């Protein structure tokens, strides 16, 4: 894989992470959860997923590639 291909691949993955986070948040906000306990658990789960996705995105953004 060339440096250019690797950079494009990482940018694509970052874009997919951004889309996933947006869809996750939109789907959670669209849920009609009347049970407060269930809503709280889902909210905690969504926050945890968002944190992990943000960490993954940050890790990907720090990658540096060299020509070989």
pLDDT tens column, 5-22: 999 999 999 999 999 999
C-alpha 18/C-alpha 32 separation (Å) is 24
- The pLDDT tens digits for 24-62 are 999 999 998 888 899 999 999 999 999 999 999 999 999
Please state the three-class secondary structure of the chain as a single string: CCHHHHHHHHHHHHHHHHHHHHHHHHHHHHCCCCCHHHHHHHHHHHHHHHHHHHHHHHHHHCCCCCCC
Which DSSP category does 14 fall into? Answer: H
């Amino acid at each position: 894989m060339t440096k250019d291909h690797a950079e494009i691949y990482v940018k694509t993955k970052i874009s997919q992470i951004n889309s996933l986070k947006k869809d996750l948040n939109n789907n959670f906000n669209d849920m009609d959860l009347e049970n407060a306990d269930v809503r709280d658990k889902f909210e905690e789960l969504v926050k945890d997923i968002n944190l992990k996705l943000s960490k993954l995105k940050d890790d990907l953004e720090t990658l540096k590639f060299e020509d070989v």
